Amino acid sequence: MHTAEHPQTLGACDWRNFANIVCMNEDMMTASEREGELAEKADARPAYYVHTLGCQMNAHDSERIAGVLEADGYRKATPSEVDAQNVDLIVLNTCAVRENATSRMYGTLGQYAQLKRNRPGMQIAVGGCMAQKDRQRITEQAPWVDAVFGTKNIGDLTALLHEARRTSEPQVQVATELTSFPSELPTVRGSRVSGWVSISVGCNNTCTFCIVPAVRGKERDRRPGDILAEIERCVARGMKEITLLGQNVNSFGYSTGDRYAFSKLLRACGQIEGLERVRFTSPHPAAFTPDVIEAMASTPNVMPQLHMPLQSGSDKVLRAMRRSYRMSKFMGILDSVRAAMPDAHITTDIIVGFPGETEEDFQATMDAVRRARFTSAFIFEYSPRPGTPAATMEQVPPHVAHERFERLHALQESISEEIMASMVGRDVEVMITEARGFKDAATHRISGRDRGGNLVHVRVPEGCETPGVGDFVTCTVTESHGHYLISDANVQAGDTYAVRH
């Protein structure tokens, strides 16, 4: 699973604004839910704040971290406490996918050191992929950190904090083998209407650029019954949308010899009453089979949205990346998806400047993007990760990689704008996730996602019902931008606006 990273400068007084970075579903927690935290009454329990970097898997892990902390007597800090830096525990849940994630982690820990000096008794914990990778280095370079815990040690966090408080020494717990699924831990969900459900952990692929197998371990599948039971519990609590998570979701079941397990799981999700929307991320092209496409097309609550990592349009580069597919297979999958679901929105990940990439290779990627017509793409300049085979290969000069990034980004932006413009005049169904105005409160806009995963800002026409978070609005798209749509429906002129609860 790969992430979009957005570098920011972290000031001592605005550390909260170094926001959670999640490549998709960034609005899992609604504005109304965030504002609702202001109503919490302060009590004697220690207040925690979890700062998450990385992908959806990390964000979902943070929900488990919160659950473990609250089960031990902590409470989530209110926004006002976070703004005032008045918290008792900061947990930094880290990412290791790109080199600048490492630099930013240590920079962030440096800022936290000052906070700790200003607030004696505050504790700092570091978890996630970078904790799994760096282990002792973190406590050596940032001795003010109280606890370092690996991706398989979320359940050990509170014990580490207690021991650090008792001994005044940093505690490190990083397991190399998974003994129980994180899904068995308590959970504090980030949203009451949308949720993540992990179907597997780890990765069996050997991509030469990727550190994930080293920090997440080998792929392990959950039992289908356990997955469905968790989904049913989510729905019983009012959730209407679930995103199935895995490093390679469509290889689910391969360990037991059931190559149809993922398509069976999708169909089973279609039988859960009250589950309105099902999404999943991320599949691997090598394991993406026709039965998955058929299950997507024939299961009404599985959304016509697909995030399919391309990485490169050059077969030569794909071989060097050790990606077990070629362009003919990748494009064949896209053609099959669009034949079965003409309105499907497809997004991707692409790396430019991979070691050995020539201008000819890069042009093959440009050609692939023109043909694929992705709705959007997360584009990365290659970042060498120590310990991966690609880090030892001959590197493309950074200025060349950056110039290629700029060209590919410009191409994708133009395609995204064209695709979004084609939505104008069409009716879309939007699940509301933000019940507050977009930019100007006078527009009375609310926000959500359509079935294809596109962000849509909807103005409530005068005299019409205002939907709440979790409601569905069918509305006419009246305006488009590169990465979102606007519906300022004029019902008197024949535009559509209808609310479903």
| 340: CB partners within 8 A, 6+ apart | 293, 294, 296, 297
Give the number of other CB atoms < 10 A from CB of residue 386: 10
Strand ranges (E), 282-335: 305-307
Q: Could you give the angle at the alpha carbon of 54 between the alpha carbons of 236 and 408, nearest 5°?
A: 115
Q: Tell whether residue 23 is among the known ligand binding residues.
A: no
Q: Tell whether residue 269 is among the known ligand binding residues.
A: no
Give the number of other CB atoms < 10 A from CB of residue 391: 16
Q: Distance between CA 438 and CA 430 in Å, rounded?
A: 15
Q: Tell whether residue 207 is among the known ligand binding residues.
A: yes
CA distances from 203 to 76, 200, 248, 324, 412 (A): 32, 9, 7, 14, 29
Q: Tell whether residue 13 is among the known ligand binding residues.
A: no
Give the number of other CB atoms < 10 A from CB of residue 139: 19
Beta bridge partners of 321: none
For every residue of 204-236, DSSP letters joined together read ----TT--HHHHH-S-EEPPHHHHHHHHHHHHH
Sheet holding 345-352, edge to edge: 305-307, 345-352, 376-381
| 50: CB partners within 8 A, 6+ apart | 62, 65, 66, 90, 91, 93
- C-alpha of 362 from chain center: 27
Query: H-helix or E-strand containing 396?
Result: none
Annotated binding site for [4Fe-4S] cluster: 55, 95, 129, 203, 207, 210
Known binding positions:
55, 95, 129, 203, 207, 210
